[in-house]
Amino acid sequence: GTTAHSYEIDIVAADLAGQIIAIPYAASATLAGKLVPGETWTVLLTSDSDTADFSHTVSASDELSDIAGALATAITDAAGEYAATATGDTLVFARQDGAAFTVEFELTATDDTVTPLAIAVLESGYEATADGSSLVIENAADPSFTTLLNITTVFGSTGSWILDVAADKTTVNLSGALLAGEVWTITLTDTVNGSISLDFNVVDLLPEIAAALAADINGYGPATITATVEGNTILIVNRAGNDFETVAWIALATDTSGTFTEQATGVATVATLSGTPVVGDTWRLKVDGTAYEVIVGDTYDIVDVETVLPVPTIVDTLEEIAVVLAGLVNADKASTQIDVTVVGEALVLVHTGGTAFTTVFELEPEPGIFAGSISVDTTTASAATVVLSGTPQTDEVWTIELKPGTSVSVTVGGTVNSVTVTTLEELSAALVFEINNLGGYVATTATTEVTGDTIVIVKLAGDTFDPTVTVTVPGTLATVDA
């Protein structure tokens, strides 16, 4: 396959989108009403049905600004999920994880009667996406937000933009070439945060271009090909172990001296996560004795495969654990020479210098009692692909034989993993589910417009294998070319 794109302006849109998404959801409230000594003012902050409440009892000398300051102090001293500041009579709230929430106030009278306080609450929560050179910004909580873009130019700058403001979103269409030294600044203004300015500084673009190319390869390339990035270098691995050729070229409006260097072949290992993640558990991956660990329920940055930008994520699934572990190892690859790529709930580890290495998994349950470890076979992984085609018919039995005596089967119309199998996509997912339950194999789907419904199968033992697919219809037997 071939990947090509104009990345410079795309990178600006994607980077600014990531910064906008990182702006925490916020709310503000200006206190109003008569103060009566002995009454208690309470603010209730609710997110995902979980409510935290903070209170202050009115004294004879209190004013509304004192109530606001006391509530903000109570929230700060709690050192919990929320943060708050007070300016005069106004309180501004946010969650530490940036998630959305609601704000309510209650008044408890001296006779213990509780009534709601009619205090207006303003909210702001930004969302943003990048579509090529277009940046789409939304704030459903405050649609009245405004957007301003500015470019600090250098000699020869050609950057420009067009704002398209609609009732529910603003689209910023970027154009022009980037020049080192430019600063692209977007300023968002809303009723809660006031003005927030975000910058993209044009410096060395090669790492961003490498990351964008790797994202294209992983998203649209052959199913067995995986690409990772180290600085300006793209490492491309064929998980099936087959030889392949890489050709690259640069097409610019001006002369360039940019080049690509082919990466040497490495040694690969595939390791699979299994079990049920429990909040508080520590999942640890040891590579050549160096430990990398993830605590289930904690928040980690996970890179979005489309925008190549980090998104704060509460990690509680096997795939998320695998992604975070991969990121931790990759962050250390300057010293280890090991690249890690996630395939579903499995990790593909590659030593770029061709050196053998050891990989061990450990699980440490809460509250810290060691429960055991899983050693991983460090032999070179082998892989094969199976492409499904045609229209599944009720009662057909689709079988993949991995080796003599080892196979998995799915009946069309039957139920696998709580899904009734009727389509090729469901059939592919069901076969992958059954293969992953076998042990010794890792399977994942790679469905694209080019390849169709493709299953990638990795054999952990590393020896080559040649899977076959058969479709059995009641009364007949047919073979599908895999």
Q: Is the peptide bond before 367 cis (omega within 30 degrees of 0)?
A: yes
Neighbours of 176 (CB within 10 A): 16
Q: Kindly report, residue by residue over 83-106, the tens digit of the pLDDT.
A: 999 999 999 999 988 899 999 999
CA distance 224 to 222: 6
- H/E element holding 185? strand 183-190
CATH no., domain 7-23+125-201: 2.60.40
Query: Please, which residues have CB within 8 angstroms of residue 287's CB and are 6 or more apart in sequence?
Result: 329, 336, 338, 349, 357, 358, 359
- Name the residue among 406, 460, 398 with its Cα closest to residue 431: 398
Torsion of Cα atoms, 238 then 285 then 441 then 394, to 10°: -100
pLDDT top residue among 403 and 415 = 415
Q: What angle do CA 388, 391, 395 make, to 5 degrees?
A: 100
Domain boundaries, the chain: 7-23+125-201, 26-124, 222-380, 384-480
Q: Kindly report, residue by residue over 197-229, the tens digit of the pLDDT.
A: 999 988 656 676 777 778 878 877 777 788 887
**Tokens representing residue 349 in the block:** 């580890």
Averaged pLDDT, 263-286: 70
**Domain 26-124 sits in CATH 3.30.1120:** no
CB 226, CB 236: distance < 8 Å: yes
Query: pLDDT value at position 146?
Result: 94
Averaged pLDDT, 99-122: 94
**Tokens representing residue 469 in the block:** 């697919």
Query: Please, which residues have CB within 8 angstroms of residue 197's CB and are 6 or more apart in sequence?
Result: 185, 186, 187
- Name the residue among 468, 352, 339, 464 with its Cα closest to residue 402: 468
Confidence of residue 265 (pLDDT cuts 50, 70, 90): very low
Residue 378 pLDDT > 50: no
CATH no., domain 384-480: 2.60.40
Residue 324 pLDDT > 80: yes
Q: Kindly report, residue by residue over 445-482, the tens digit of the pLDDT.
A: 654 443 346 776 777 665 666 777 777 654 333 333 33
Within this chain, domains 26-124 and 384-480 share the same CATH topology:
no
